[in-house]
Amino acid sequence: MEIHDSLVIGAGQAGLSASYHLRRRGIDHVVLDADDRPGGAWQHRWDALTMNDVHRVADLPGAEIPPDTGRERANTFVPAYFADYERRFELPVVRPVRVRRVRPSTGSGDGPAGSGGPSTGSGDNLLVVESDAGTWATRTLVNATGTWTRPFIPHYPGIETFRGEQLHTADYPGPEHFRGKRVVVVGGGASAVQFLGALAPITDTIWVTRREPVWTDRDFTPELGREVVAKVEERVRQGLPPRSVVSVTGLRLREQEREAERLGAYAARRPMFTSIEPDGVRWDPSTGSGGGTTDSGGGAFEPADVIVWATGFRPAIEHLAPLHLRSPLGGIQLDGTTAVADPRVQMVGYGPSASTIGANRAGRTAARGVAEHLRAAEVVSA
Ligand code: FAD
């Protein structure tokens, strides 16, 4: 079994930034990535998402993202940049490797599960990383697994009875798929706003959100970015589950959403429905529907062909469960990017660093955290 000073899980923006900074510090490491190709979550985003639709993809450290015309597909343009980046800086990415479990080494007699290699030795203080492609051991870990593989759909009574189509942002096939249909878009974030922008001109849309959407007319400046990051940072410092950085930025309509706005797609926002029926969604009379089409005593009802769940993602961190990193408040408590429960572990792209700019910074902070931990461990064992 290979033993490294550090191991990065995930080669998206956060993992690549971490690997770049580890390399600069001369720290021996490997990056394990579940995808077949470079690009992190960007390679899986829908074809209709152009560079004009994304807010701004921050430069990875040491190499500017090439200029775009706005018309390029985000799911090819960004992955091409990442692929070049990995090559240029000779980052030690191994793929496809899906990590299943990270656990503390049990020291003596800890046969590396699944690999049949030698023991890691007694009192080694290593982390054992088990994957579908073998087992690694490491002194420190940088987790950079993002959220894309954990789409979140809330449960509503009757959800399984719906005869139409239900899909999540992660499976959004582009607007043409929906032409002429009646579509319920659920969610108060940037993705819902974008979907409505594309769908309202060619479908009949109903927008449903749990909370009143928060609009902003502020441009996305570095100052606003810092304010937003500070809010999410405060949550993870306390050990609360992080909120999406985008969710606290505030919503803003762009040029490509003006037609939908003119059609009233945003003005007719409804509160969350209370149940789903085979042919549509229903509001309990006590919640108020914001105006449904039918009311047969059971609350307002809207027929629908499709429900699009733009309801976000959760951190993809199930593989870390054996490390017991979660605080009683439900999140992983962090000091910077260091897990308070186990300082061998750095979390990047998590909470306040779940944006491309945050991921970049977190990569640098994590590499520093790794270096400090390795130094401290050396002093202790010397
Ligand atoms: P990811 O890019 O998700 O990379 C995670 C990597 O980890 C993947 O390669 C995956 O294969 C790997 N992985 C996952 N689990 C495992 C495992 N168990 N074992 C091994 N590997 C694993 N942010 C911005 O700053 N600007 C924007 O304009 C912007 N637009 C966005 C548009 C959309 C539609 C969405 C959904 C998000 C957008 N964001 C934007 C957010 C931004 O994309 C993310 O915060 C950032 O790209 C996340 O990078 P990451 O490295 O944390 O994760």
143-174 tens-digit pLDDT: 999 999 999 999 999 999 999 999 999 999 99
Both tokens of residue 161? 């009875």
CA of 289 to the centre of ligand 1 (A): 35
Average pLDDT over residues 286-297: 62
Between β-strands 300-303 and 280-282, what pairing exists: parallel, antiparallel or unpaired? antiparallel
Q: Which atom of ligand 1 is nearest to the CA of 350?
A: 52
Both tokens of residue 180? 């002429």
CA of 157 to the centre of ligand 1 (A): 31
**Mean pLDDT rounded to a whole number for the chain:** 90
Is the per-residue pLDDT at 382 higher than 80?
Answer: no
Q: Which atom of ligand 1 is nearest to the CA of 348?
A: 52
Residues with beta carbon inside 6 Å of ligand 1?
9-15, 32-35, 40-41, 45, 54-58, 97-99, 144-146, 148-149, 191, 316, 319, 349, 354-357, 359
H/E/C letters for each residue in the chain?
CEEEEEEEECCCHHHHHHHHHHHHCCCCEEEECCCCCCCHHHHHCCCCCECCCCCCCCCECCECCCCCCCCCEHHHHHHHHHHHHHHHCCCCEECCCCEEEEEECCCCCCCCCCCCCCCCCCCCCCEEEEECCEEEEEEEEEECCCCCCCECCCCCCCHHHCCCEEEEHHHCCCHHHHCCCEEEEECCCHHHHHHHHHHCCCCEEEEEECCCCCECCCCCCHHHHHHHHHHHHHHHHHCCCCCCCHHHCCECCCHHHHHHHHCCCCCCCEECCCEEECCEEECCCCCCCCCCCEECCCCEEEECCEEEECCCECCCCHHHHHHCCECCCCCECEECCEECCCCCEEECCCHHHCCHHHHHHHHHHHHHHHHHHHHHHHHHHC
pLDDT value at position 352? 80
Band the pLDDT of 235: cuts 50, 70, 90.
confident
Average pLDDT over residues 300-321: 96
Band the pLDDT of 117: cuts 50, 70, 90.
very low
CA of 177 to the centre of ligand 1 (A): 25
Tell the residue nearest (CA) to atom 12 of ligand 1. 10
pLDDT value at position 295? 53
The pTM for the full model equals: 0.90
Out of 45-49, 147-151, 215-219, 326-330, least confident range: 215-219
Is the per-residue pLDDT at 359 higher than 70?
Answer: yes
pLDDT in tens, 63-76: 999 999 999 999 99
CA of 15 to the centre of ligand 1 (A): 10
Is the per-residue pLDDT at 372 higher than 70?
Answer: yes
Report the share of the chain in percent with pLDDT over 70: 90
Is the per-residue pLDDT at 245 higher than 70?
Answer: no
Band the pLDDT of 321: cuts 50, 70, 90.
very high
CA of 13 to the centre of ligand 1 (A): 7
